Structure formats: structure tokens, C-alpha cells
Structure 1
Amino acid sequence: MYRPNRRTALQHIAASSIAASITISGTKSSGQVIGANERVRVAIAGINGRGQIHMGVFGGMKNVEIAYLVDPDSRLFKPRSAAVEQRTGKRPTCVQDIRTALEDPSLDVVSIVTPNHWHALMTIWACQAGKDVYVEKPCSHNVAEGRRMVEAAQKYDRIVQHGTQWRSDPKWRNYTADIRNGKYGKLQTANIEIFRPRKSIGTKTPVKPPRELDYDLWVGPAPLHPYRTNLVHYQWHWIWDYGNGELGNLGSHEFEMARWAMPENAAPQSVVSMGGRYGYQDQGQTPNTQLTAYDFGEAKLICQQRGLDYDSPIRMAIEFHTDAGVIRGGKFFAKGKQAGEAIADAPADGLPENYARAHFQNFIDCVRSRKSADLNSDVLDGHQTAVLAHLGNISYRLGEEVPFGKQPADLIDNPLAYESFDGMKRHLVDVAGVDLSSASYRLGPTLQFDGQAEEFVASPAANQLLSGAYRTGYELPKITS
């Protein structure tokens, strides 16, 4: 249950059920419709990078107040609070621990922009405290966390929006609806490309954390690694205990759109992933080159991720291959035709920033109306999207190093997947100068997945990676009916 103070640890609460009822009943967003002129008070948790986008968007909304800025690194408090005050005329309260903000009964919303390993615990605590939640992608750090978040939102009747902004783009909505409905033929394969150069994080020796940073709190529920300057603030993305690699980072946006175009209720039945970290040697753990293939039964999904630091410019795109042709770059290329037919109002490829404001506004509108069904990307959507990233990473992490001369035995029986593997090899040769005759790649097992039970079939090792271990005081709460 939600701990109002990490030091007192519920000393003043006799029973967890009483704690939930007291906390939730003291919040004006606890099931009541908020009037258009009533102020919605927001706490933004995580204010180093993307948190500044949240500050800018919420700070520009009518009758929305940024009441708290939350971050374990107090060095950020002065400049960030000054920026909010300059924009809104009101200086927010700055705290290091989210639980301090959750004790405020007049707080309505928690906007979570923390490292991934904090997403689930902070969301559940906020739901238990009667707050609504906007949580950045990926929704969770592992599969079990995501399901627990869905359960918490349902039990405590909370509005929980997932931060995949393309969901609020009407062009994407119409585009994927047409694909799902068969306007361009029956969908066979969705092919995702995430080409985003990433520099090496280097190798750093452990040092003492800055006195202004509560590093133990920053680590929170995750295993405690020695503090390094290439871990905090951004490079945690490439460390398994805190991040989910590019598959969970930018991949979340494109997985969400691919799911939107899939047949209704489609779920992954198997996954296989492969790749490695090339071009430099550093302390990063996640792959900067990865190919992942999913079998959804009626349709297949392929995700190509490339992140060499000297790579080509950013490219984020999805091709949809149907039995009638290919949908690519806003055009439909019918089989047997060289020229593509332009699709009216097709969405542009690229980073999904254009509809950030609309996505936040959709969330605030639902906070006011209490209609979770009107969310453009609710916590269940976020969970189902994050599952795809988690499955791919689990296959990769269970893989073995094999020479490039060894072809993957089973790439979901899909010619496009094998073409993608050959493209990955050519890319490593042409861009990174990798000698494939002596190099290796990590080849993960093909894992069968039961989407209903959300567990792997006959793979104890893979099932063990569906959840995580939590440090004392930061255990993931159980959500009982």
C-alpha cells in the first residue's frame, strides 16, 4: 500500500484498507467530475530531460497548476522552479521524494518522467493515494509491473494515460484504421525501423554521488549499482536494471502504431530477437543493433533497430505489407506497380512530438470528466505495447553468441525478416566496418508466448524475466480485488 513517508513507513496507519480510503477520499479528483474552471494541480516527477516538456505543456494549460517538481537531484530545483514561475507566475514546491507530494490531499495528478524502473511503483502509489497519472513510455520496466499498473488503475478508478503521443494524432488514427479495416488489402507484415544514432556512454569508475543527489532514492526499487557519471541522468536507458534499451524507448511509439493497425485483439504468439552492441566498447548493456520478429498469427511484426553513433540521420518509420501491396512513406504501392498512390492526410514519419500537447490535453480533459474510456492511450494500451518491447528484450538476453555465418533457423517463416537480417549485416559492414568473418552476434531463442496468461510456454528462464526483484521498502504492492 502507498507509503506516505519512507521514514515513518505507515506508522500512523492501522490497516492498508483504511489508508486507501482516507487518502483517496481527501482528493478532489477521487471520482468527482472537476469543473472547467476548477484548478487541476500537478506534480511532475523527473525534471531533468523530458520533464521540461511536461513543464512547458502543463504550464501553458488554462486552470492547470504545476504544484510540485519532484526529483532526487536537488541541483535541478532552482533553475526548473524559476522556469515554471516565469511561465505561470507561481513557483512550485520542490521535493526529492514523490511520497511527500502524495501526502497533499489537494494534489490531483502525478506526471511521471522518471527512469523506467520507477514507472510502475510510482504509478501504483499515486493511484492508491487517489491521484491520476500521466506516465511516460515505456509504461513499465517488465511485464508483471504493467499488469499490476492496469489492476491499480481499475481498482482505484484512476485516469492513467500512457505517453505515446501519436495516439492523439487524427492522421495516425485514420491511417491505421484504414489498414486494420483492409482498405489496402489484408495486413501481412508490419516492418518497423528505428534508426537513431547513439553515442558511446564510455567507461567510468564508480565515484561518490553528489551531495545534492539522493542516489539511493534515485535507484529506488532497482538493484543498487555503484554511482557512475555515465548512469545518471540519461544513460540508464542502456542498463538493464534501469532501462529497456531502444526497443522500449523509441520502439514504444512505433509498437503502439503497429498494434493499432493489427487485427482487433491480435496478440504476440512468439518472438525471436538478435543483435549486439557494435562500434565501441563501453559499459552499456543493451544492443545498439537489434532485429526482433513477432508472430501474431494472422500478421507478423518485424522491428529493426540501429543505433551506431556515426550512423545516418534519425529515421523512424513503419511499412505495412499487405496481400495487395506495400504502404510506405504515405503512399500505397500496389503489387506490380512501380509508382505509389499518395494517401490523403497520411501521417509523416519521424519523432512523435507534433501531437504532444493534444495528448496532454486529452489526459487533462479526462481528469476533469472522469471518463477513462475517452483516453487516447490508456494504461492497458501502454501495457500491451510495452509487452512487445519486453518480449523482444527477453529473447535477446537469453541468447547465445554465434558467428555471423550461422543464419537464424526460424525467423517467423517470413521472407522480409530474412531480408532484414541480411540488411543488418550489410549495415554493420558498410557503416561500422565489422569483419563478419570473425565477428559474432547474439541469437535469442524463439519463445512461444501465451498472451492471455501473459507468460511464456515451457520456458522457465524466460518467465523469470517477466518480473523483477525489488529492494526493501520499494516492493511492488499487490493489488487485491
Structure 2
Amino acid sequence: MASPNRRQFFQHLAATGFAASATISGTKSSGQVIGANDRVRVAIAGINGRGQVHMGVFGAMKNVEITHLVDPDSRLFASRSAAVQRLTGKKPKCVQDIREVLDDQSVDAVSIATPNHWHALMTIWACQAGKDVYVEKPCSHNISEGRRMVEAAQKFNRIVQHGTQWRSDPKWQTYTTDIRDGKYGKLQTANIQIFRPRKSIGIQNPVPPPRELDYELWTGPAPMNPYRTNLVHYRWHWMWDYGDGEIANLGAHEFEMARWAMPETANPKSVVSLGGRYGYEDQADTPNTQLTLYDFGDTKLVCQQRGLHFDKPLKMSIDFHTDEGRIQEGKFYPHGKEQGEVIEGAPPSGLPQDYARDHFQNFIDCVRSRKSEDLASDVLDGHRTAILAHLGNISYRLGDQTSFRNDPQQLSESPIASESFEAMKHHLVDVAGVNLAKASYRIGRSLQFDATTETFVDSPEANQLLGGNNRPGFD
């Protein structure tokens, strides 16, 4: 690749006398409070999908300027820059390489909506360059790089917000605080359901990438695979080299909300995940049907996801089961009662509201104040949430195929997980027409996890999946 890697980039800056300002004090936000009337200058990286929300929210804020749009696909530049200009009256500069932005001392923050495999590296680079960061969920592509993100934010005193905007819903904060404090009994199980129809990505042969797309740069730290039209854009989510499946996509939101209802010190001690890809054959890697059980000691977490495109419409839910009853859709159902008691002030849907504008504003407010403790969801929150998704995927990937005639004994300690497995089988029969007598599922390995060291206990194979090997030039 013609452009330098990060180390070479800063060596060049050092030679020209700019290294110190770029790595530590390159922006007016580096260590000093910004006044309410001072303009915060933001570069947005990744402008195809979620990045357009970033453009709309930041563009509507007072004293916030979108200075750059960054994306390896230059086909997006004309329409996206025109949209920002219509909204703000100013046309941003469009570049393909984030490293051009990091050399601009006037840029205060980078807002990241790229594919997952770029989240950590771009965040770390931005912290090194003295920029604050808003990074979409999941914050990382693997556990090891997530920890490095936390360390970079701390080392360079950066404001790093995780893009789980539900965290900014004040009703949900009160709701989960009451659950955590035992108002409805001792929490035993948090039960997550993510039912989101997803179409097959099909099967496509390798072709040359479009000339407007810098595919080398899009690939970045990931392995260099042949370009296919069912990869860029969005469908990378279902490929291990770039994404982490639905468990880390929509799952990141629900994991973070479920964690909020648990004791602050709660950490996963073990995990087992099972499932498969059903209903069609395509080139995706990740399961479209997955069931994962986490053991936190006193509390368990069950995550069930379904993604067949001919399924019912989107359904996302989080139910909480205590030793006194069930909390579901804003109501408390005491044991033995069919009528739920309405929880005053609770979200009626049982899910938080989309407080995206407040979440982005919280980030800008903290950029101004330099108070990272005021972030609604800081990088450590994001890292702890992403760990849950990565644990489930690692268990799944290390699993073996088994017949549906074999019930997963690993779920036997959780009635809710066992019931979810039965529901999953009925779903596959009713919706996808799967013949369970001939079909199989992947039963993941039961893994013990040490949250203090963020490593697996007595599982070298699992520990090998804690991190990735970035390509040269992207380290």
C-alpha cells in the first residue's frame, strides 16, 4: 500500500517537527476545557449506513462542525458531502484514508461508523493523535484489541464514547437500577431475544473491486480476501474477518442494557453457545440462529437470536427473572399471577428509547468539559459489553456438529436456556421447514473465563481467538 502505516506516519511527523502535537496535543480538546461557544470540529469515518445518522445529528448541533467525511469508497463522496452542506451550509472535505485526518491539528474528534474490524485500530490511532472518539458498537472486533482501546483512552486522556445510545435513556436507567437493587427480588436470569429477519447474502465469484473503492484500505487490518459484490457494503457483518454476527450487532445494545441491571461488579465466568445457519446456503460465516448461555455466578444471561429472512418482523426484548417473579415489557409479574403490575415510569415496550441525539450530545458535552466520568457509555462499558459477544462467538466457533436428537446438556442448569432451545427447534421447523431428524446444530465448547486477566481457563484454543493478527501496515 502506498500510504504509510501508523508507525511510519508518526516517524514522518517527527522528521517534520509535528509529532508531539499530533500524538498528544494536536487539538484544542487535548486536556483543556472547551467553552460553550467554541466550535468542536468532527470528522466522520464510515459514511454508507450508520454514518449518515452521525452526519445528521452532528450537523444539527450548535457549534459543532463536520470537517471531514472519510470512507475508502469515493462513490459516496458527492451525495454525502452535499447532504452535509445542505444541513450546515459548509461542505466537508472528503478523504479515503483516516490518516489524513489525524494529521489535521484542527480536528477535535473522530466519529467512527466503519466496519467492526476497523473500530479498534481507528480509535487507538485517533487517541494517539490527540482526538476524542465516538465509536459505534461493538467497540471491538476481538477481546484483546478492546482492552487496548481502553488503555489508549486512559494513556492519552481521551474522551471515548461507545455508540450504544440506549444508555442515554433516563427511564431505562431508573428501571434497571431498581432491578439491580432488588426491588422486584433477586435477579436470577436476564433473557435477551433478538429476532431480526436477514436475507441470504448469496454466492458471488471474486471480481475486481470498483476503481472508486480503495479495497486495500477498506480491508485494512483484516486478511486480504478477494473482493466480492456481496461483501461491500454492510454484508461484511456476517463474515468473521470483518464482523461478529448479530450477537455483536444488535446484541451489543441488549447486552449493555442487561449488564446495567446486574451488579456493577458482575462478570461472566463461563459461556456456551450453539446454533447454525439455516434456510439457505450462502457465503456468510456467522450463524443466523444462535443460543448462548452465560454464567455470572449468582446471575445467568441467556441470548437467543433468529435471523431467517422469512421470519416474523423485528422483535427485540429483554426480560428479567427474579426469585419473586418476572419483569417483562414494563410490567412485573409476581410468581403465580397472570396479571402484570405496571412499573411506573418504565419503558412501555420493555426496551429503552432511541436517544441517539442525547447520546451524541453527551459525547460533545464531555469533549468540552474533559470529564470522561460523565460519559453515558465510555470505552470500558463498550469493551465489557463486546466481551460478551466475543465469548459467545468463540464458544460457537470451537464447537462440533451434533444431531438435533442430542439435547445440549450444557444448558440443563438453566430452565430458560433449555426452554429457548426447544423454542428454537420449533422455530426452525415451522418457519424454515427444517427436518430435525436429518439436521444438525453446532454445539459450542463450554468455556471458563477469567474476567480479571480476560483470558480463558485451560483452553489454549480459545485463547488463540482472543486477538487477531493485523496485516502489516495496520498495526
Q: TM-score, normalised by structure 2?
A: 0.97
Partner of 1:271: helix, strand, or coil? strand
Amino acid at match of 1:401: Q
Tell me the equivalent position of 1:357.
Answer: 357
**Contact between 1:204 and 1:229, CA under 8 Å: does it hold in 2?**
yes
Residues in 2 aligned to 1:313 and 1:207: alpha-carbon distance in whole angstroms: 34
In the TM superposition, residue 346 of structure 1 has moved relative to its aligned partner by 1.3
Q: Distance in 2 between matches of 1:237 and 1:352?
A: 24
User: Is the 1:139–1:383 contact (alpha carbons within 8 Å) kept by the matching residues of 2?
Assistant: yes
Which residue is equivalent to 1:56?
Answer: 56
Output one character per residue of 1:65-112: Cα deviation in whole Å (capped at 9) or x when no partner.
000000000000000000000000000000000000110001000000
Q: Is the 8 A contact 2:329 2:350 kept in 1?
A: no
Per the alignment, residue 265 of structure 1 pairs with 265
Matches within 5 A, 1:277-356: 277-349=277-349, 354-356=354-356
Question: 1:241 corresponds to which letter in structure 2?
Answer: D
2:121 counterpart letter in structure 1:
L
Deviation at 1:19, TM superposition (A): 3.2
Distance in structure 1 (CA, Å) of the matches to 2:104 and 2:118:
20
Contact 2:172–2:352 under 8 Å retained in 1: no
Match of 1:419 in 2: 419
Structure 1 residues 4 and 37: CA distance shift in structure 2, 3 A: farther
Shift of 1:351: 8.0
Residue 441 in structure 1 maps to residue 449 in structure 2:
no
8 Å contact from structure 1 (residues 272, 446) kept in 2: yes
Are 1:190 and 2:182 counterparts? no
CA gap of 1:20–1:457, structure 2 versus 1, over 3 A, is farther
**How much does 1:26 deviate?**
2.9
Instruction: Give distance in 1, aligned partners of 2:213 and 2:150.
Output: 31
Q: Which amino acid aligns with 2:193?
A: E
Q: Against the structure 1 CA distance between its residues 175 and 351, is the aligned structure 2 distance closer, same or farther, given a 3 Å change threshold? A: closer
Q: How many Å apart are 1:263 and its aligned residue?
A: 1.6
SS of the aligned residue for 2:118 comes to helix
Q: How far apart in 2 are the matches of 1:385 and 1:172?
A: 17
Q: Partner amino acid for 2:124?
A: I
CA contact (8 A) 1:171 1:345 kept: yes
CA separation in 1, counterparts of 2:13 and 2:182? 56
Which segments of 5 or more consecutive residues in structure 2 lack a partner in the other structure?
A: none
How far apart are 1:403 and its partner, in Å? Answer: 0.3
SS of equivalent residue, structure 1 residue 196: strand
Match of 1:173 in 2: 173
Q: How many residues align?
A: 473
Contact 2:119 2:141 in 1 (8 A): yes
SS at match of 1:25: coil
CA distance in 2, matches of 1:98, 1:351: 35
CA distance, structure 2, for counterparts of residue 254 and residue 459 of structure 1: 28
Shift of 1:22: 4.9
Residue equivalent to 1:155: 155
Tell me which amino acid in the other structure corresponds to 1:331: K
The 1:349/1:115 distance shift into structure 2, 3 A limit, reads farther
In structure 2, the residue matched to 1:380 is 380
* 1:20 Cα offset (Å): 4.8
- Residue 217 (structure 2) pairs with residue 217 (structure 1): yes
TM-aligned CA deviation for residue 25 of structure 1: 2.0
SS at match of 2:305: strand
Q: Secondary structure at the match of 1:320?
A: strand
Q: Per the alignment, in what secondary structure is the counterpart of residue 57 of structure 2?
A: helix
Query: 1:282 and 1:4 mapped to 2: Cα distance?
Result: 36
Provide the identity percentage.
Answer: 74
Where does residue 114 of structure 2 map in the other structure? 114
Mapped partners of 2:349, 2:147: distance in 1: 30
- Cα displacement (A) at 1:329: 0.9
Q: Does 1:368 align with 2:368?
A: yes
Name the residue aligned to 1:478. none
Residues 316 and 349 in structure 1, CA contact (< 8 A), matched pair in contact too:
no
Q: Which residue of 2 aligns with 1:242?
A: 242
Q: Is the 8 A contact 1:71 1:95 kept in 2?
A: yes
Give the CA deviation at 1:150: 0.1
Contact 1:165-1:352 at 8 Å conserved across structures = no
Q: Give the equivalent residue in structure 2 for 1:85.
A: 85
The answer on whether the counterparts of 2:45 and 2:112 sit within 8 Å (CA) in structure 1 is yes
- On the 8 A contact 1:72/1:217 being kept in 2, the answer is yes
AA partner of residue 176 (structure 2)? T
Letter in 1 for 2:425: K
Alignment check: 8 A CA contact 2:4 2:473 kept: no
Report SS of the residue matched to 1:42: strand
CA offsets 1:321-346 (integer angstroms, 9 cap, x no match): 00000000111000011100011121
- Separation in structure 2 between the aligned mates of residue 20 and residue 271 of structure 1, nearest angstrom: 44
Equivalent residue letter for 1:204: Q
Report SS of the residue matched to 1:243: coil
Alpha-carbon offset, residue 10 of structure 1: 3.8
Contact 1:450–1:456 (8 Å) recurs in 2: yes
Structure 1 residue 8, shift from structure 2 partner: 5.8
The question of whether the paired residues in 2 share the 8 Å contact of 1:291 and 1:421 is answered with yes
1:450 Cα shift?
A: 0.4
Alignment-mate amino acid for residue 102 of structure 1: L
Cα pair distance change 1:148/1:333, threshold 3 Å: same
What corresponds to 1:390 in structure 2? 390
Tell me how far apart the structure 2 counterparts of residues 328 and 272 of structure 1 sit (CA, whole Å): 25
| Matching residue of 2:38 | 38
Matched, 1:408 2:408: yes
Query: SS at the partner of 1:253?
Result: helix
Q: Aligned pair in 2 of structure 1 residues 272, 412: CA closer, same or farther (>3 Å)? A: farther
DSSP 3-state at the match of 2:197: coil
> Which whole-Å CA distance do the structure 1 matches of 2:474 and 2:12 have between them?
19
Residue number in structure 2 paired with 1:450: 450
Other-structure match for 1:98: 98
- Supply the distance in 2 between the matched residues of 1:453 and 1:12 (Cα, whole angstroms): 36
Q: CA contact under 8 A between 2:22 and 2:130: conserved in structure 1?
A: no
- Cα distance in 2 for partners of 1:290, 1:275 equals 4
Shift of 1:281: 0.2
Q: Report the 3-state secondary structure (helix = DSSP H, G, I; strand = E; otherwise coil) of the residue aligned with 1:268.
A: coil
Equivalent residue for 2:67? Answer: 67
Query: Residue 165 of structure 1: CA displacement?
Result: 0.6
- The one-letter code sitting in structure 1 at the alignment partner of 2:44 is I
Q: Is the partner of 2:246 in helix, strand or coil? A: helix
Paired with 1:6 and 1:382, the residues of 2 have a C-alpha distance of: 24
Paired residue type of 2:42: V
- Amino acid across the alignment from 1:337: K
Deviations 1:260-282 (A, max 9, x none): 00122100000000000000000
Distance 1:67 1:351 in 2: 35
User: For residues 225-267 of structure 1, what are the alpha-carbon distances to aligned partners after superposition, in whole Å with 9 as ceiling and x for unaligned?
Assistant: 1000100011000000000000000000000011000122100
1:219 maps to amino acid: T
Give the secondary structure class of the aligned counterpart of 2:12.
coil
Amino acid at match of 1:227: Y
- Does the residue aligned with 1:158 lie in a helix, a strand or coil? coil
Q: Report the AA paired with residue 393 of structure 1.
A: N
What's the offset of the Cα at 1:14? 5.0
Letter in 1 for 2:115: P
Equivalents in 2 of 1:299, 1:351: separation in Å?
Answer: 20
Q: Which amino acid aligns with 1:150?
A: V
For the residues of structure 1 that align with 2:25 and 2:131, how far apart are their CA atoms? Answer: 11
Q: Is the 8 A contact 2:325 2:335 kept in 1?
A: yes
RMSD in angstroms over aligned alpha carbons?
A: 1.8
**1:76 aligned to 2:76?**
yes
Moved over 6 A (4+): 3-7, 350-353
Distance 2:321 2:256 in 1: 17
